Structure 1
Amino acid sequence: MLHAYIAGTRGLNRIDQEDTINPGAQIASALWIDLYRPLDSQLAAVESLGISVPTLADMEEIEISNRLYREDGCDYMTVVVPGQTPDGVQISGPVTFILSPSRLVTVRHHAPRPFETFPERADRSTAGCGTPERIFLGLIEEIVSRQADLLEGIGRVLDRVSAKVLGQATPEELQQALGEVGRQGELLGKIRLSLLTMERALSFYDQSLSGHPTGRDLHAIIKGQMRDLSSLAVHGDFLSSRVSLSVDATLGMINLVQNITVRIVSVVAVLFLPPTLIASAYGMNFANMPELNKSWGYPFAIALMIGSAVGTWAFFKWKKWL
């Protein structure tokens, strides 16, 4: 899928792709070209503009030389951003920003939400949307804002889970809470990785601004975004400690519930131990057992077993073990 945008009076306007045979004819004037799971024809259309588009295998490489580099006058910056697959599965995938003097090209194979919300509000970003550089910084700002929203959402979920765990939660609710905390911890890990890769990309781009006509203004914007990334990183560390605390608290409550169950079973087993001993004694096949020939023998044995169980219970109660 290929989306091409130009600057409008409010935000970015999408260019209608009417020419399906030669899509490159419609995108030559675009300031931003967004490639989402692109077809071969769409890749060819972008490459006809003199821009080499990396493959998904290239984007997934973790070497710094494959993530951040400059080629043919274009800056290639690959970051990792949380998003969804076409099947609705939440993943964290690579997104490549190709910044040339005339346009910005983004390549992605999943759907981060900022790419859907940014075109309508591009003019309200700090950088604006008049040039490819400002669109790039505005899109980074949108991604950073989205990560901040996700971190706030994680905090709210942890608040709700903590209130449930520390309250009167059933074993089923504790199990659900543990799963929910695990999912939030996984999402937090994806966000922290995204923040790290965006910080590296901004640092790389900031170093290439020397000699740029508007380099001073762009440097000020980048400096502000780097501060935002640092603040979110600190918030992420705080939430990481909260996730660990929530996991420990949930496991502790589960252990308490299990201990109560084991305690009840143990008490029942101990209460039945003396009656079992008495029944075992009267179950032995010795010839000289006087009680076996008496009419009161059976009631006496039953009363002795009940009395031993009650005496054991009274002793436990006196010792405050129950």
Structure 2
Amino acid sequence: MLYAYAVEGGRITLMERGADLRGAMWIDMVQPGDVEVAALTALGVEVPSLADMEEIEISNRLFRENGMDYMTAVLPGERGDGSRAAMPVSFILSPERLVTVRHHSPRPFLTFPDRGERSTLGCSTSDRLFMGLVEEIVARQADILEASGRVLDEAAQAVFERRTGATGPMARAGAERLQAVLRQVGREAELLARVRLGLLTIERMLAFYIAIIGERKESGRLRPAIKGQLRDVQALQVHADFLSSRVSLTVDTTLGMINLEQNSTVRILSVLTALFLPPTLIASMYGMNFVNMPELEKPWGYPMALGLMVGTSAATWLLLRWKNWL
């Protein structure tokens, strides 16, 4: 699928299908087929395949060819089946236009056409259009990190406000909540990993771009904007590292609470075992079929045995209370 955009009056407008692509300043290709690739080849643009975009060598992701700059970043987004993943996106920049090639749907590519004119440099040239799109992508990563921070706040609150003295249905509900917190924190950890990878590749892409920007006519205006985006990316990387440490803390705390829950259950079972141990011993002793057992012939023998059972159980319970084990 191919979307062609022109810039009219400082605004990004979607061109009609079948329009002459030579008038487009931004061509966004989504899972391009043979027809779309042939159309770009006619413009002198070599469209990389998904296999080429997934190559991790820096020389395959950042290079110049035929007067065009090829830059690839790995961005989080949504696939066609609704699942989320981090996949490569290629930016092919020439003095005439910007071409983007992607195989999933990062949200900035959907929102930028409506907000491109409000970017720092506007979108009057292909370079400014590229910087505006990068600005939108970086802002999206910041939004994801902020939302992830709120989710971690809620998860930590659910763990720390857990009432450890609850029993029965309340204890089961607490255990289920702790398991839900673990799943939630696990999802956030995966999301943070995708964002951190995206920020790393964006930083490398901008470092390559600032190294070649001297040949542009607007290099004096573009360079400060690139440096500003690099500072934002580095700040977001620090924020992502902080959130990753919070993920580790929340996971450790949740696992600790689960262990406490299990220890409470084992303690209850141990107390019950200790309470029934003396009566079991007495019952076992008087269950022996020996001839010389005087209590068997006495009328008070049975009540005495029952009394011993109750008394030893009560004594065990008082001992446990005195030791603060209950």
Kindly indicate whether residue 21 of structure 2 is the aligned counterpart of residue 27 of structure 1.
Answer: yes
Match of 1:294 among 298, 302, 310: 298
2:15 aligned residue: 15
Q: Over residues 158-217 of structure 1, what are the superposed CA-to-partner deviations in whole Å (9 max), with x where a residue is unaligned?
A: 111111111136111111111111111111111111000000000001111123211111
**Aligned twin of 2:135:** 141
8 Å Cα contact 2:10-2:124 kept in structure 1:
no
Return the letter of the residue paired with 2:252.
D
Which aligned pairs between 1:119-198 and structure 2 lie closer than 5 A? 119-168=113-162, 170-198=174-202
Which residue among 45, 63, 69 is the counterpart of 2:57? 63
**Conserved 8 A contact 1:6-1:29:** yes
1:210 aligned counterpart, secondary structure: helix
Structure 1 unaligned runs (5+)?
20-24
Partner in structure 2 of residue 6 of structure 1: 6
Q: What CA distance in whole angstroms lies between the structure 2 residues aligned with 1:320 and 1:146?
A: 54
Please, which of 275, 280, 289 is the counterpart of residue 285 of structure 1?
A: 289
Q: 2: CA distance between counterparts of 1:109 and 1:61?
A: 15
Following TM superposition, the consecutive aligned residue runs of length 4 or more in structure 1 with deviations greater than 6 angstroms are: none
Q: Distance in 2 between matches of 1:164 and 1:111?
A: 33
Contact 2:70 2:90 in 1 (8 A): yes
Taking the TM superposition and a 5 Å limit, the aligned residue runs for 1:76-91 are 76-91=70-85
SS at match of 1:66: helix
**Count of aligned pairs:** 316
Aligned match of 2:323: 319
> Percent identity at matched positions?
58
**Given that residues 121 and 128 in structure 2 are in contact (C-alpha distance below 8 angstroms), is that contact kept between their aligned partners in structure 1?**
yes
Q: Give the SS at the match of 1:28.
A: helix
Moved more, 291-300 or 226-235: 291-300
**Corresponding residue for residue 249 of structure 1:** 253
Instruction: Determine the structure 2 residue equivalent to 1:22.
Output: none
8 Å contact from structure 1 (residues 82, 112) kept in 2: yes
How far apart in 2 are the matches of 1:94 and 1:214? Answer: 28
Q: CA RMSD in A?
A: 1.3
Unaligned runs of 5+ in 2: 164-173
1:270 aligns with 2:274: yes
TM-score using structure 1 length: 0.95
Deviations 1:206-235 (A, max 9, x none): 111123211111111101101111111111
The question of whether the paired residues in 2 share the 8 Å contact of 1:79 and 1:197 is answered with yes
C-alpha distance in 2 between matches for 1:317 and 1:212 = 82
Inter-partner Cα distance in structure 2 for 1:48 and 1:270: 86
Question: What secondary structure, in the 3-state scheme, does the structure 1 residue paired with 2:156 have?
Answer: helix
- CA shift, 1:10, in A, is 5.5
Report the Cα distance in structure 1 between the residues aligned to 2:49 and 2:118, rounded to whole angstroms.
Answer: 32
Q: CA deviation at 1:122?
A: 0.3
